[in-house]
Chains A and B, each alone.
Chain A
Amino acid sequence: MKRVRIGNGGGFWGDSLDAPVRLVREGRLDYLTLDYLAELTMSILAVQKQKNPALGYATDFLEVARSLIPYLRSQPQLKIITNAGGLNPKGCALAVRELFRQENLADVPIAVVGGDDLLPYLDELFARGHLLHHMDTGEPLAARRERVVSANAYLGARPIVEALRQGARVVITGRVADASLTVAPAAFAFGWGFGDADLDRLAAATVAGHLIECGAQVTGGLWTNASAHTRLADVGYPIVEMTEDGQFVVTKPPGSGGVVNLETVSEQLLYEVADPRAYYTPDVVVDFTAVTLEQQAEDVVAVRGACGIATTETYKVSAAYRDGYTAAGTLVIVGPDAVAKAQLSGQIILERLRQAGWVFERSYVEVLGAGDAVAGVLPRAVDPPEVVLRVAVHDHRREAVERFTRELAPLVTSGFAGTTGYTTGRPPVREVFAFWPALIAKSAVSPTVELLA
C-alpha cells in the first residue's frame, strides 16, 4: 500500500535551526513541513515589511533552506512546504530562488501561495460589509482601523495542493491553517478531493497535522513525565507515515532523543484546543474524540478512526493592531527575607518613577521563585534563599517605557543587600500588538498560486 511520510522540522519562528536537516537526513521524508507563524508573528513581520518592503517573511527559513540544499540534490522525492512567507511569500520565494541559483540548484520549482493578506483591501472589505467583528467582543475592526498592522485569513490546503500539482518542490505560503501544511501533501499524494466522501481522510490528515505542527511537542518536548532519560538534548522531530485511507503512525527518526508514546500524543492532541469534538479548519471540522491511539512499537503510535464533517463557509482571520509599548526587567535578590525584599524593590522602582513623573497605564511585579508565575494559585515558597524580581510595564507612551528600563540598575547600589543579577543591561522596549480574531466569508478571499518561472 502506498505510504507517504511527512515530517515537521519546526513549530514556530525561533525553533531549532538544526532540526530540519537532522529530520531530513534521518527521516526518509517525502515532505518536510516548517511552521513559522504563531498568532502574533504576522504583526512583527508587518513592522519589518514597513521598514523594508523586501522583508516581511521568516528570514530564518533562508538559513534552513541553505542547509537543505544537499538533501534536495540527494533526495529527489523530497518536497518542502512552509508558511515562512508570512506577509511576503513572493519576496521569500525570490530570495530562496536566488539562494538556490547561487548554489547551482536551479531546477527546483518554487511556488508561492498567497491571497491570505487582507490588509491591502481592508477598507474595501469594510465597505462591502465584511466588518471583521472580534470573535469575543463583537466589536468591528474598523474601530481600530488606524492602528491595524496585519489582517490575514487562514487559508486551507487547497491552494497548496494546486501548487504541488503544478510541480512545485518548494511551496512557500503566507498564513494557512497549521494543519493544512500536512493535509495538502496527503491530499496531493493520494489524490483526495475536498468533497463529502473525503471528509474522514481529510480529518485524519488534520489530526496528523495538528499533532506535528508544534514540532517536538509530540516527541517528548513539554511531556509532563519527561526526565533526563528522555534525552531532550537530542530530541527527534516528528514524522507521520500515512496510508491512503488516512490511517497513520506518529514516529521520529531512529536513534534520536525524545519519545513518542500515548502520553506525548494525547497531550498534544488536546493542545490549544477548545471543544475536542469540533476542531475547525478551513478544510474540515474534526472530532478529536473519535480518534484511537495505540502504541505499536517503541516510538511508534498508531492513530485511527478520525472523522470529520463539512467545514464552514468562513475563514478565520487573525488581525493585529498597535497597542503601545512594553518592557520587562529582572533583578536577583539573595538573602534573608528575599521574597519581601524583592516585593519592596519592585514597589521602590515604581515609586521612584512616580516621583519622576511617570505613572504607567499598567505595571506588574512578580517574585519568581516565591510562586508568582501563577500568582495566587501556586503554593508560596517558604523562605527561599534567592528569588528573581521581575517588573513589567505597559504604556502607550514609548518614552515612559524607555524611562522605566533605566530604573532597574540603580537598585544595585540603592536597594537591599543581596541585590544582584543586573548583567543583561537595560531591557529592550517592545511594541505591543493586540490580537484580533475574526471570521470572513470564504467568498471574499481569493487564494493565489504562482509557480516562479
Chain B
Amino acid sequence: MVPTTATAASADTTSTTTLSERRVVPLSALAHGRSGDKGNHANIAILAYTEAGYTFLCDYLTAERVAQYFAALRPSRVERYEAPNVRGLNFVLYDVLGGGASGSLRSDSQGKALAMALLRMPIPLPEQVNNTSSQ
C-alpha cells in the first residue's frame, strides 16, 4: 500500500465539529501504543481502544500532525500506515534517533519512549466519540 506521507503542514479539514465544541483529552484516553527502532528510524504504533476511536484517529492523527508534534526531533519524513485489523496506525519517523542504537548520544537511543510521548498528545475530542479505557 502507498503510505500517506507528511509534507508541508496542512490544516485539519476532516471534522465538521468546531474545536470549541470539543473536549480535550490525551491520546492515551483513546489508544495505547508501542515504539521501537530500525537503524536511525523509529516506528510508533498507536492502537485505538474502540472502532469509533479508530475512525476518528484515522482522520485526526495524520502523518502531518505527528510530524509536527515531533518537530523537535527533526524527522526527515513521517509515513503513516493503517492496520484496521488491530485498529492501528503505524507511524514511521525517519532519522529521529540521533544516529541510532550505537551512535546516538541520547538516553532513549532506540526510540522506546516515543510512543509514551505521543500518547500525551492533546486531542480535541468530538462529543460523539466515547473514549473507552482499556480492558
Contacts and interface: CB of A to CB of B under 8 A. Distances in A.
Contacts of B135: 225, 261-263
Interface stretch (A104-112, A118-126, A366-374, A406-414): A366-374
A435 B101 contact: yes
Nearest to B44: A270
Interface string A374-394: 111111000000000010111
B27 to A, nearest CB: 11
Interface in B89-123: 90, 92, 98-103, 105-108, 112-115, 117, 119-120
B43 A270 contact: yes
Contact of B39 (A263, A328, A362, A437): A437
B90 A276 contact: yes
Contacts of B33: 224, 267
B105 A263 contact: no
Contacts of A450: none
Interface string A273-294: 1111110000000001111110
A269 B117 contact: no
A39 interface: yes
Given A275-B81, A373-B108, A434 B103 contact: yes
Contacts of B108: 373-374
A270 B90 contact: yes
B86 interface: yes
A136 B39 contact: yes
Given A263-B134, A271-B36, A376-B73, A323 B103 contact: yes
Given A262-B135, A263-B134, A435-B100, A272 B38 contact: yes
A435 B105 contact: no
B8 interface: no
Given A225-B134, A366-B107, A434-B99, 16 more contacts: A224-B115, A263-B134, A267-B32, A267-B45, A269-B83, A270-B88, A271-B43, A272-B37, A275-B81, A328-B107, A366-B106, A374-B117, A376-B73, A377-B72, A377-B73, A433-B102
30 contacts: A38-B101, A39-B101, A222-B112, A223-B32, A224-B28, A224-B32, A224-B34, A224-B134, A266-B88, A269-B83, A270-B88, A271-B45, A272-B36, A272-B38, A273-B43, A274-B43, A274-B92, A275-B81, A276-B90, A289-B82, A289-B84, A291-B85, A326-B103, A362-B105, A366-B106, A374-B73, A374-B114, A377-B70, A434-B99, A434-B102
